[in-house]
Structure 1
Amino acid sequence: MADDKLQDDALVQGIMRDQARMEAERMPWESVWREIDERVNPLGAGAFTGGKTPGSVRGAANYDVTAVEGLDRFAAAMAAITIPRNTQYIRLKFGDADLDKLPNVRRWCAQTADRLHAMRYAPHAGFQVQGDEDFRQLGTYGTGALWTGERPGLGLFYKTIHLSEIWIDEDFSGRVDTVHRKYELTARQCAQQFGEDALTGRMRDALRPGGNPDAKFEILHVVRPNREIEREALDWRRLPVASIHVAIADKVVLRRKGFHSMPISVSRHVTGPGDKYGQSPAMKVLPSIRTLNTVAHTLLRAAHKIVDPALAFYDDDGISSIITRPGGITPGLVNERGQTLMARVPGPEGSDLPIGLEMMEGERRVVRTAFLEDFFKILTDPSDRMTATQVIEMIGKQGVLVAPYAGRYETEKQNPVTQRDLELAMLRGQVEPLPEEAREAGAWPQTEYENPLTRMARAERAAGLARWIEAMAPLAQVDDGAVFDHIDTDEAAPGLADVLGVDPRWVATPDKVAAKRQAREDAKAATAGVEQLQGAASAYADLAKANQISEAA
């Protein structure tokens, strides 16, 4: 039987009341999410209706796939600017500036950040795949949940939880601090996850010989702030985040645990006043998506009528059927004079396919903009015919476009996930302990990110430098370039490389720059010495020749 020590009827009743309230709050959103599933993300269609038959065609009612393709680009754009795999974008620092200056602390921050990045992108962790799924949920529903956990013997793993399983609640500041997850497990899976001793009577019956180990049971997992922390306890009661698994049908607690940090991080794309769940790009342009499908359907029907029009007969007497395939023979279709007894029905009067196509293109632009299609212009525009200033300004514009969404993702998702990674890594000894100086100060590291988004934020300054140089070019013709002495090239060159996303390994360090300059000066000195020797030798030869001429005279 389930562990009697875990049972608390009042706790379970309170959890079920909270679940009922949260389900009522989420219900108005679900009809919109179902439509968006069908129109934007057919792969997920059916999640809010209990699923569809395996192998069934999804999205068959769509006549335009602009939004479907846009979702892929949105996920790719957000991933590229916030969590680029090929860039070590995690930075750790302490809030105390004096502490950050200590060499030992700086070394720990750099090494630990590198280790966290390597752990996150280990093949078994699955962060790349699950991160993409998370962004797809943000683009579809406006709300995404990512679970960070551990596998015994392997380490970190990540899993995106579909919104159909998630209900959320906020704290006083609007941050998501409570997550309810309702999902199904078979009796066999329940035994694997919770252990046979924790199972309910019905679960145990299903596992007995002659039972049905594949019988499914609904489980409710509640993760919320621990409301009664006991600092002296040695178990879950002393931890700030409580985790409770409840068998819904039996109203039995299967497991109680605790966490140092939130294991399920929830982010929203955009929220409106009073909204707990986010608004997605798909929801923003849903009217345009509907219009596109309606117009596309109408144009398809009109084009079909024009290409394959209806047939008209004066009298179908004796004509049993019409053979319209190439080479087909239809008897009785002509009279004795060879005149055809059939005519094509003219196309719809006033039909104008170009106008319909123009309408569709206008709506497509709206949808593509919402799904960050403009972000990809920097990849497709002919940059080889753009000046450096134009390239930098383009980067800055893309940053303005995506910064509000990416910034919120960083606050609600990246920071909690990174802090969770750090805590698990430290608990398992996968990174070095905090430096002694940090422990004495009672400090905990903060997280920053050095990704394409932060570079985009700095692009405006780089664009200002490029415009400044271009503006000074006419002045340089007057004073032989002396005006450029105002530019600190040693600071500007690395800054431009950073904004343009140049691989840091390709940028010379200050020591290497100094060595190159010294080598250049040495080469110049050596060249000058050779020229002086050549000049002296030439002068000596001229003098000797003059002496020979004088002696001959």
Structure 2
Amino acid sequence: MADMVDGMQDDALAKDDIRDLERLVAERAPYESAWREIDERFPDGAGGFDKKSAGEIRGQRNFDPTHVIALERFAAAGVAITTPEERDYIKPRFQDEYLMRLRNVQLWCEYAGKRLYAIRHAMQTGFGVAAHEDWDQLGRYGTSPMWQEAIGMRGLVYRTLHLSECYIDVDAAGLVDTVLRKFTRTARQCEQLFGHANLTPKMLKALEENKPETPFELLHVVKPNTRWDRDAMDWRGKPIASRYLACDEKIYVRRGGFFTMPISVSRHTTSPGEKYGRSPAIKMMPTINGVNAMRATTLRAGHKAVDPALLFFDDDGITSLATKPGGLNAGLVDEQGRPLVQRMPGGEGALPWVTQDIENERQMIRTAFLEEFYKILTDPNSRMTTTEVLEVMAKQGVLVRPYAGRYAMEKQHPVSNRDLDLALRAGQIDPFPPEVIEAGAWPMIDYENPLAQMARAESTGKTLRFIEGLSVLQGIDPEVVDAVDTDAVAQGLGEALGVPVAYVRTPEAIAARRERRAESEQAAAGVEQLQGAAGAYLDVAKANQISEAA
């Protein structure tokens, strides 16, 4: 314990961390009432802001599942357009155009992208699960943190952290650069995480008294390192500080750091000055509550319509009523055959109007959760031409580009840059080419996903329309095709459609291929000329022979 105290403890820093936590808790408090209501409307187990015991069911106030289904589709569509597992979508590149013209740099970028994809989507990383949970949490609360860490031989691990545990702060540019995570672990789990030698006195006592399941509150602080020293070999030498504080005893159980931010926080939408994002669920909560209230009313009305209350003038002689199917009720009509018992009139006449109103409200919820876009992804029209598909993609991309663009900036880019940094340090990706090292460049990460295709679909569709128009004009003037630089169009379409670099020949290879073709054609023409001359000579010789014979 003495070594831990000497090496890690800082009472003033612990007080600062607690003060920061109190400040961020107060800043987040106004949002939590809305988030608790969301927890009740969107069932997700025992966690969340509205704590439940294990096995207790949420969502018992729901009478309509539209918002729950819409959230599931929102998360599925979000993953599909940003990090699709079925395609190699990570594309590193350098901003320096000279570097990107070099063949070895192009091939390194293609190779690095394939390696990053393989590392990220390996089965043990849990990235697919984390990505879906991340979009699900964005749809609920509008803010979602994701943790990524390299763990020994297992490699990279991704995990979405529940927002109820996390408090965030932003830098001067409004981007999240600080995360304080308050969570609970047992004494046994603390020993696994931090090692026996780093446990606090109360944790050690719990283990000694054979109470390993005693819970302890921990505060994990991840923020820029204000004491960064590039030459230091310990936590001081890393730009991102990381420390775990036992809240009860104000003792640090671990201090370390990272070269890149391990927790990436994305927000769905924000207004100027907001730290936490707003979600489709927050925006549509009045509508969700209204639909559930109307649905509860129509359920009661429907119940009354099919099992109505009964009216009768006098109960004299009415001893029992058989309301089951096929039941017999003797004596319940008078001599003229008029029933002595009648159903009570209800509001069933208004049911068609209310049902239509409910459907209109449901459609508003589906639109807010981008369900129309989900339908485009899952139900394409196979009768459309390639050009028509590109034009539809361009128009529908307008719906998701604001959200997905922010997701790329706040989640995809930080996560991919950390992946690349960890892979290079671990030797999982080849070092940069010499030209890149000499230039001191670091790659940008592009994404060859449906979102990027939508962004480029408009220009690609216009190019194909242009070529289709020229084919019509070619019937009038065959030379109109001379206006098209086919090499440039082919190169541009290949880049826009995400064709791998290895599939496209370089300008030098194209020129060499054309030169060989020209030489081959020239040689064939020479042979044909020789054959023609030889045939003419033979004809002359035969004519001379005939003349001499005559």
* 1:159 counterpart SS class: strand
**CA RMSD after TM alignment:** 3.6
Q: Secondary structure at the match of 1:383?
A: coil
SS of residue paired to 1:444: coil
| Alignment match, 2:371 | 373
Change (3 A) 1:342 1:482: farther
- Which stretch of structure 1 is more off in the superposition, 193-202 or 96-105? 96-105
Contact 2:106–2:501 (CA under 8 A) maintained in structure 1: no
Alpha-carbon deviations, 1:335-391, whole Å to 9, x = none? Answer: 688764311112327x42222222222222222222112213434666233344322
Residue in 2 aligned with 1:245? 244
**Letter paired with 1:23:** V
* Equivalence map 1:435-446=2 (5 Å): 435-446=433-444
Alignment check: 8 A CA contact 1:37 1:44 kept? no
2:60 paired with 1:77: no
- 2:150 maps to 150
Against the structure 1 CA distance between its residues 451 and 338, is the aligned structure 2 distance closer, same or farther, given a 3 Å change threshold? closer
Following superposition of structure 1 onto structure 2, how do residues 137-536 of structure 1 map, counting pairs within 5 Å?
A: 137-208=137-208, 210-317=209-316, 319=318, 321-329=320-328, 333=332, 340-348=339-347, 351-379=349-377, 383-472=381-470, 474-479=472-477, 481-492=478-489
- The answer to whether the 8 Å contact 1:34/1:45 transfers is no
**Does residue 132 of structure 2 align to residue 132 of structure 1?**
yes
TM-score, with normalisation over the residues of structure 2? Answer: 0.86
Partner Cα distance (2:501, 2:237) in 1: 46
Q: Within the alignment, does 1:37 sit opposite 2:39 as a pair?
A: yes
Q: Does structure 1 conserve the Cα–Cα contact (< 8 Å) formed by 2:107 and 2:501?
A: no
Contact 2:77 2:377 in 1 (8 A): no
My pick for the range that moved more, 424-433 or 232-241, is: 424-433
The percentage of counterpart residues that share the same residue type is 51
Gaps of 5+ in 1: 545-553
The two structures have a TM-score, normalised by structure 1, of: 0.86
Q: Following TM superposition, by how much is the alpha carbon of 1:71 offset from its aligned partner in structure 2, in angstroms? A: 1.2
The alignment partner of 2:30 has SS state of helix
- Cα distance in structure 2, aligned partners of 1:81 and 1:517: 43
- The residue aligned with 1:12 is 14
* Structure 2 gap segments, 5+ residues each: 543-550
- The worse-fitting range, judged by mean Cα deviation, of 274-283 and 108-117 is 108-117
Corresponding position of 2:121: 121
Q: Structure 2: how far apart are the matches of 1:353 and 1:506?
A: 63
Residue of structure 2 equivalent to 1:27: 29
**1:469 deviation in Å?**
4.2
The answer on whether the counterparts of 1:392 and 1:463 sit within 8 Å (CA) in structure 2 is yes
Contact 1:34/1:46, CA 8 A, preserved across alignment: no
More deviation, 469-478/455-464: 469-478
**Tell me, what secondary structure is at the counterpart of 1:301?**
helix
SS in 2 for 1:180: strand
SS at match of 1:384: coil
- Aligned residue type for 2:175: R
Q: Which SS does the other structure have where 1:124 is aligned?
A: helix
Residues 1:517 and 1:508: Cα distance change in structure 2 (over 3 Å): farther
TM-superposed CA distance for 1:111, in Å, is 2.4
| Amino acid in structure 1 at the alignment position of 2:483 | H
Displacement after TM superposition at 1:522 (Å): 8.8
**Rounded Cα–Cα distance in structure 2 between residues aligned with 1:514 and 1:297:** 75
Cα pair 1:169 1:176 within 8 Å, conserved:
yes
- For residues 346 and 132 of structure 1, the distance between their equivalents in structure 2, rounded to whole angstroms, comes to 49
Shift of 1:166: 0.7
Taking structure 1 as reference, are residues 134 and 155 closer, same or farther at Cα in structure 2, changes over 3 Å only?
same
Counterpart of 1:549 in structure 2 is none
Shift of 1:67: 1.6
Greater mean deviation of Cα atoms: 364-373 or 466-475: 466-475
Deviating more after overlay: 461-470 vs 17-26? 461-470
* Alignment match, 1:89: 89
The 8 Å contact of residues 425 and 431 in structure 1, kept in 2 or not, is answered as yes
Q: 1:59-110: CA deviations, max 9, x gaps?
A: 2211222221111221122211211122222222334444444444444333
Distance 1:104 1:473 in 2: 38
CA 1:301–1:191 in structure 2 vs 1: closer, same or farther (change >3 Å)? same
